[in-house]
Structure 1
Amino acid sequence: MKKQTLRRCLAAFWWLTLAFLYLPLAVVVLFSFNSANSSARFADFSLRWYHQLMGNEAILSALGNSLVLAIVSALLAMIVGSVFGYGMYRHRRRRLGGLVLLIYLPLVLPDIVFGISEMAFFVQVHEWTGLLSPGLATMIIAHVTFQIPFVALIIYSRLVGLDPALFEAARDLYATPRQRLVHFMLPTFKPALMAAFFLSFTLSIDDFVISFFTAGPESATLPIYIWGAIRKGVSPEINAIAALMIAAVAVAALLSLAFGRRRAR
């Protein structure tokens, strides 16, 4: 009887936690289909605000900037982070503890501190060289910087799980470095690379703080646009933008989960 009561309590706690996490998102999505001009009450179901989004050039420009920023930074972070992860694995037995700990610093550093430091760095470089004026390029560099540790740790965990004899076997079969990369390493790392890409994409698409400090006047992303618009009050149009962002992040998360399950099988 006690075990049954405990199970019921745990089940109730589980559902309450899910409700706490997802009810606010559900409300945002629901009111994005509201036909009324205010989010105070729900009138009728309508796609009015989604149609209005399609004709808003400022929103479409912000959406384009967000997609370019997320895709390009995720690709660059996947490449650079993979190299870092492989280097961490190759030199894991050497006394590099202090250097390896540096890869964890961007993970625990507050976003506002990271964003301010990136902004100060870009401003100083621009004063010295005339390069890296605030814009999409500086945002991409900043996003790649904080995405690299996530990618490196994913690749490192994948390498640690492999049998070291596989690398020796590839050499014993006279595989050149290029052949080992193309025929062994890339197929083996493909699920981890895809998971790292989608994680980086998700982190980038909804980032506000770092983007805000490194953006230029013509490079506003969706989170920055939402922040500017919400100061006038939450409208159904903002709910529609948020619903689209929730959908994009959910798709990326589901794809990452699918690749993870495929790797496990």
Structure 2
Amino acid sequence: MKKRTLRRGLTAIWWLILIFLYLPLAVVVLFSFNSANSAASFTGVSLRWYKRLMGNEEILSALSNSLILAIVSSAVALVIGCLIGYGMYRHRHRKLGWLIVLIYLPIVLPDIVFGISEMAFFVQIHRMTGLLQPGLGTMIIAHVTFQIPFVALIVYSRFVGLDPTLFEAAKDLYASPAQRAFHFMLPTIKPALISAFFLSFTLSVDDFVISFFTAGPDSATLPIYIWGAIKKGVSPEINAIATLMIGAVTIAAILSLLFSHRRQP
């Protein structure tokens, strides 16, 4: 009887937590279809705010910057993170505590500290060399730096889960290093790579703090645009933008989760 009561209590707490987390998002989605000019009351269902988004050049420019930033930075982070993850696996028996600290540091470091340090670095480099002027390029570099640890850890966990004898079997079959890489390792860790890419994409689209400190005047992303527009008040148009971002991040997160649990035959 006590176990059943405890189970029901934990279930109720679980549902309360889910409601607390996702009810605000549901409200944002609901009011994005509001036909009224104000976000204070819901008077009816309409797609007028989504239509206005399609004709707003500033929003389309911010969306384009967000997509370019997310895709390019995720692709670069995937390549570098994959190499680091494989290196961590190859040398896992050595004492690499310092490397583990360096990998985890961008993950646990507060975004505002990371963003300010990136901004100061780019400013100093630009003063000395004229390179790395704040803009989309600096944002891509900044995003890559915090995406790499996630990719490296996902790839490393995939390699750790493999049977070590598979690598020896590939060598015994006289496979060259290139053949082992393209015909054995890459197909084997393909789900992890796809999962890591979509996770990096999600992190990039969702990021505001680091993007804000490393952006230029013509490289505003959707989060930066929302932050600037919300100063005038929350309008249904802002809710529509937020809804589109919620949908994009949700789809990327679901794809990342599906591929991370996909098993090889």
Q: Same fold, TM exceeding 0.5?
A: yes
Q: Structure 2 CA distance, aligned partners of 1:141 and 1:183?
A: 31
Q: Tell me the SS of whatever aligns to 2:195.
A: helix
The answer to whether structure 1 residue 92 and structure 2 residue 89 are counterparts is no
How far apart are residue 100 of structure 1 and its match?
2.6
Which residues of 2 match residues 35-46 of structure 1 at below 5 A?
A: 35-46=35-46
Q: Which residue of 2 aligns with 1:213?
A: 213
The answer to whether structure 1 residue 151 and structure 2 residue 148 are counterparts is no
The answer to whether structure 1 residue 167 and structure 2 residue 178 are counterparts is no
Deviates most, 174-183 or 86-95: 86-95
Q: Which residue of 2 aligns with 1:224?
A: 224
The superposition leaves residues 129-152 of structure 1 with CA deviations (integer Å, 9 ceiling, x where unpaired) of 111100000000000000000000
Q: Which residue of 2 aligns with 1:71?
A: 71
Percent identity reads 77
The normalised TM-score by structure 2 is 0.98
Deviates most, 47-56 or 93-102: 93-102
The answer to whether structure 1 residue 259 and structure 2 residue 259 are counterparts is yes
The answer to whether structure 1 residue 185 and structure 2 residue 185 are counterparts is yes
Q: Tell me the SS of whatever aligns to 1:262.
A: coil
Q: Structure 1 CA distance, aligned partners of 2:6 and 2:168?
A: 51
How far apart are residue 72 of structure 1 and its match?
0.5
Q: Which residue of 1 aligns with 2:133?
A: 133
1:200 corresponds to which letter in structure 2? S
Q: Structure 1 CA distance, aligned partners of 2:215 and 2:144?
A: 14
Alpha-carbon contact 2:188-2:264 (below 8 Å) kept: no
Q: Structure 2 CA distance, aligned partners of 1:151 and 1:7?
A: 37
Q: Which residue of 2 aligns with 1:237?
A: 237
Q: Tell me the SS of whatever aligns to 2:189.
A: helix
Q: Structure 2 CA distance, aligned partners of 1:44 and 1:96?
A: 60
Q: Superposition RMSD on alpha carbons, in Å? A: 1.0
The superposition leaves residues 177-201 of structure 1 with CA deviations (integer Å, 9 ceiling, x where unpaired) of 1110111001001000011000000
How far apart are residue 264 of structure 1 and its match?
7.2
Q: Which residue of 2 aligns with 1:57?
A: 57
Q: Structure 1 CA distance, aligned partners of 2:133 and 2:80?
A: 23
The normalised TM-score by structure 1 is 0.98
The superposition leaves residues 155-179 of structure 1 with CA deviations (integer Å, 9 ceiling, x where unpaired) of 1111111111111110110001111
How far apart are residue 93 of structure 1 and its match?
1.4
Q: Tell me the SS of whatever aligns to 2:262.
A: helix
1:179 corresponds to which letter in structure 2? Q
Segments of structure 1 that go 5 or more residues without pairing to the other structure are none
The superposition leaves residues 48-89 of structure 1 with CA deviations (integer Å, 9 ceiling, x where unpaired) of 100000000000000000000001000100100000111111
Q: Structure 2 CA distance, aligned partners of 1:9 and 1:95?
A: 45
Deviates most, 11-20 or 210-219: 11-20
How far apart are residue 120 of structure 1 and its match?
0.6
Deviates most, 162-171 or 7-16: 7-16
The superposition leaves residues 18-75 of structure 1 with CA deviations (integer Å, 9 ceiling, x where unpaired) of 1001000000000000011111110110001000000000000000000000010001
Q: Structure 1 CA distance, aligned partners of 2:263 and 2:250?
A: 20
Q: Structure 1 CA distance, aligned partners of 2:231 and 2:59?
A: 16
Query: How many residue pairs align between the two structures?
Result: 265
Q: Structure 2 CA distance, aligned partners of 1:221 and 1:164?
A: 44
Q: Structure 2 CA distance, aligned partners of 1:203 and 1:35?
A: 32
